Amino acid sequence: MNDDMETEPMVSFGPSSNYVGSNNQQRRRRPAGSKPEKPRRQNSFSRDIGHAAAETYLITRLTFTLLRYLGLGYRWISRLVALGCYAMLLLPGFLQVAYYYFFSSQVRRSVVYGDQPRNRLDLHFPTNNDGPKPVVVFVTGGAWIIGYKAWGSLLGRQLAERDIIVACLDYRNFPQGTISDMVKDVSQGISFVFNNIADYGGDPNRIYLMGQSAGAHISSCALLEQAVKESTGESISWSASHIKYYFGLSGGYNLLNLVDHCHNRGLYRSIFLSIMEGEESLPVFSPAVRIKDPSIRDASSLLPPIILFHGTSDYSIPSDASMAFADALQKVGAKPELVLYPGKSHTDLFLQDPLRGGKDDLFDHIIAVIHANDKEALAKDAMAPPRKRLVPEPLLRMARLISPF
C-alpha cells in the first residue's frame, strides 16, 4: 500500500457505547483540603545516570537471554541484523523518548507493586494536577520474553500530553516466569493502580486497561480471569467490571492458532510451549477459546467494553486473531468493537505512526473514548497542536521495509 495515501480504518462489530462503572466503587479519600500529590523529580542527576545504566544493562541481558533460548541459526542472525538496522533508523526518535524517560520530572520510574523482582511500574504524569485524571494501565509486548515497562514510554508521553496518567507495568518474562506468573503479575499491578492511583492524582473510577502484542494477550487473560473470579464470588482486590474500557492492540488471543505461526516466525514450538506451560494449558490461556466455556458464561457480562485494534498487514500476529476474538466475544453477549487498519504492520500502529507525528487514527480513537464524557477535555483535544515528528519520513520508510516484525 502506498504510504502517502491516508487510509481510514475499517470498523466492524458493535457500537462503541460509553461504559459507566459502578457507583459502588470505593475510592480512597484524602484529608479535606489536601491536593493530589504532584509528580516530582525523585532522583538527582547522578542517580538518573546510574538508573539509565542499570536499565541499559537489563535490556542487554534480556536480549542475550532471548538469543540463548532461540539459538543463533541463520534465521535469527538475519533477524538480529535487521533489528539492529531497524533500531538505528529510528534512533533519532528513540533518543528523544529515552531522554524524556530518564530525565523528565513527569515520569516516576519503578514504583514497586509486588514482591517479585519485576513487579515495578512507571507512572507518566500530565503537566498539570487540576483534579483527578483518567488512567491508562498499559501492558507492553515483547514475545513473552523481552517485555519491559520502558517500551511504553512513547505512549505514556503522548497520552500524558492529553491529561491522562499512564501506568506502564513490568512483569516477569520467560525464563524468569511462565504465562501464569505473567498473568499474576499483571493482575497484581492492576490491583495496585486501583487501590493507590488516587494518591498520585488519578481517578480510580476512570481506569482503562490496554495491552500491545504479547501484552494484549497477557492483559486479556488477566481481565477474563478476574471476571471469572468476580462472577463466582471469590475474594478480589480489583474488579473487571470497574475497568472503563479494554484496548487490545495487535494481540493474539488464541494460543492454539499461534503455536505453528510463531514457530514459523522463529519462536520455536518447544520454547512457545515452555512459556505457555505445556500444550494442555493452551486453551486455559486463550481468551478467545475460554470465553466460549459455558461454565464461565456469567463472567462475560462483567467484562468492560472491548476495542481491538489490528493492522491487516501484521505478519507477527495476523489480524485474524483480533477478528476471531471479537466474534467470540460478541457471541457471548460482550461488547466488542473491532478496528482494522488497512496495510498497517505489527509496528506501524505502536511505533512508526507515533514517531511520525501529526494525525494518528489509533491515538485519536483512544483519546476520543477516554474523553467521551468530558466536554472540557474534548475542547482541549480539538485545540491541541499537531504532535511533533520525531523521525524523518525517509528513515521511517526504510525502517518499515527492513523491520523484522
Q: Which residue type, as a one-letter code, is found at position 61? A: R
Can you give the pLDDT at residue 8? 44
Q: Which three three-digit cell numbers place residue 153? A: 514510554
pLDDT at 386 over 80: yes
283 within 8 A of 345, measured Cβ to Cβ: no
More confident residue, 178 or 404: 178
**Residue 261 is among the residues annotated as catalytic for this protein:** no
Cα separation of 34 and 28, whole Å? Answer: 13
pLDDT at 219 over 90: yes
SS3 state at 379: helix
pLDDT at 296 over 70: yes
Q: Is the peptide bond before 394 cis (omega within 30 degrees of 0)?
A: no
What average pLDDT does this structure show over 246-260?
97
Which candidate in 187, 213, 250, 322 is catalytic? 213
Can you give the pLDDT at residue 98? 94
* Beta strand extents in 141-228 (DSSP E only): 165-169, 202-212
Strand pairing class (10-12; 336-341): antiparallel
Report how far Cα 297 is from the mean position of its chain's Cα atoms: 26
Which candidate in 124, 217, 346, 365 is catalytic? 346
Question: Nearest to residue 243, comparing CAs of 295, 303, 197, 200?
Answer: 303
Query: How many percent of the chain have pLDDT more than 90?
Result: 70
Can you give the pLDDT at residue 64? 67
Cα separation of 154 and 165, whole Å? Answer: 13
The CB-side HSE value for 367 (13 A sphere, CA atoms) comes to: 23
Can you give the pLDDT at residue 22? 37
pTM: 0.84
What average pLDDT does this structure show over 349-370?
95
Cα angle 144, 146, 151; round to 5: 110
The CB-side HSE value for 125 (13 A sphere, CA atoms) comes to: 24
Can you give the pLDDT at residue 20? 33
Residue 16, number of CB atoms within 10 A of its CB: 17
Confidence band, pLDDT 50/70/90 cuts, at residue 74: low
- Range from 60-69, 187-196, 349-358 carrying the lowest mean pLDDT: 60-69
- Range from 19-23, 214-218, 249-253, 317-321 carrying the lowest mean pLDDT: 19-23
What average pLDDT does this structure show over 117-128?
94
Q: Which three three-digit cell numbers place residue 85? A: 538496522
Cell numbers 467521551 correspond to 372
352 within 8 A of 316, measured Cβ to Cβ: no
Question: Nearest to residue 348, comparing CAs of 307, 273, 282, 401?
Answer: 401
Can you give the pLDDT at residue 70? 57
**Residue 122 is among the residues annotated as catalytic for this protein:** no
Can you give the pLDDT at residue 21? 37
In order of their start, the domains of the chain are 89-402 (3.40.50.1820)
pLDDT digits (tens, 9 = 90+) for 31-65: 444 444 444 444 455 666 666 676 667 666 666 66
pLDDT at 294 over 50: yes
pLDDT at 323 over 70: yes
Q: Which long-range contacts (CB under 8 A, 24 or more apart) does 222-225 make?
A: 222/183, 222/186, 222/187, 222/190, 223/287, 223/303, 223/304, 224/287, 224/290, 224/291, 224/299, 224/303, 225/183, 225/187
SS3 state at 2: coil
Helices within 207-291 (DSSP H only): 214-231, 255-265, 269-275, 287-290
Which candidate in 163, 170, 314, 353 is catalytic? 314
**Residue 346 is among the residues annotated as catalytic for this protein:** yes
Query: How many percent of the chain have pLDDT more than 70?
Result: 81
Question: Nearest to residue 182, comparing CAs of 244, 140, 152, 137?
Answer: 140
- Range from 75-84, 212-221, 288-297 carrying the lowest mean pLDDT: 75-84
Question: Nearest to residue 182, comparing CAs of 210, 142, 238?
Answer: 142
- Range from 28-42, 102-116, 286-300 carrying the lowest mean pLDDT: 28-42
Cell numbers 491515538 correspond to 363
For residues 201-236, one letter each, b for 16 or more C-beta atoms within 10 angstroms of the residue's C-beta and e for the rest, the string is bbbbbbbbbbbbbbbbbbbbbbbbbbbbbbbeeeee
Q: Let me know if 350 is exposed, middle or buried by CB neighbors in 10 A (0-12, 13-18, 19+).
A: buried
Can you give the pLDDT at residue 30? 45
pLDDT digits (tens, 9 = 90+) for 136-178: 999 999 999 888 999 999 999 999 999 999 999 999 999 889 9
Can you give the pLDDT at residue 78? 77
